[in-house]
């Protein structure tokens, strides 16, 4: 690797300014990922399933957009089928997000 290549690499160094209160939410998220890295898969997935209803309740606008998109792409689907698909998608997304910490700190 030449000097020029090293110059263009992005290698951030830790800065104490990242400990400011405006970043506390980020650090809390990292801490939660680290905690969930050591939780067994079944309880972690059960927790993700329980969060699905909460996400559906508070994400009204994105849920409505997805519902409209699905109704346009799949007009033969009923409203119940679309809701079931949206719910399943959110559940799998939450399982994936909560499992990311395992990839970071544990070997598979």
Instruction: Return the percentage of the chain with pLDDT > 70, whole number.
Output: 93
CB atoms within 10 A of CB 97: 15
pLDDT tens digits along 46-70: 999 999 999 999 999 999 999 999 9
DSSP label at residue 15: -
For the whole model, what pTM was predicted? 0.77
């Amino acid at each position: 690797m030449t000097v020029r290549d090293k110059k263009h690499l992005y290698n951030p160094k830790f800065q104490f300014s990242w400990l400011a209160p405006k970043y506390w939410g980020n650090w809390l998220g990292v801490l939660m990922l680290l905690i969930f890295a050591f939780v067994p898969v079944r309880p972690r997935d059960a927790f993700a399933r329980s969060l699905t209803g909460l996400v559906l309740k508070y994400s009204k606008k994105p849920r409505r957009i997805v519902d409209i998109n699905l109704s346009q792409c799949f007009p033969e689907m009923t409203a119940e089928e679309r809701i079931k698909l949206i719910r399943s998608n959110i559940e799998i997304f939450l399982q994936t997000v909560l499992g990311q910490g395992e990839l970071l700190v544990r070997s598979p």
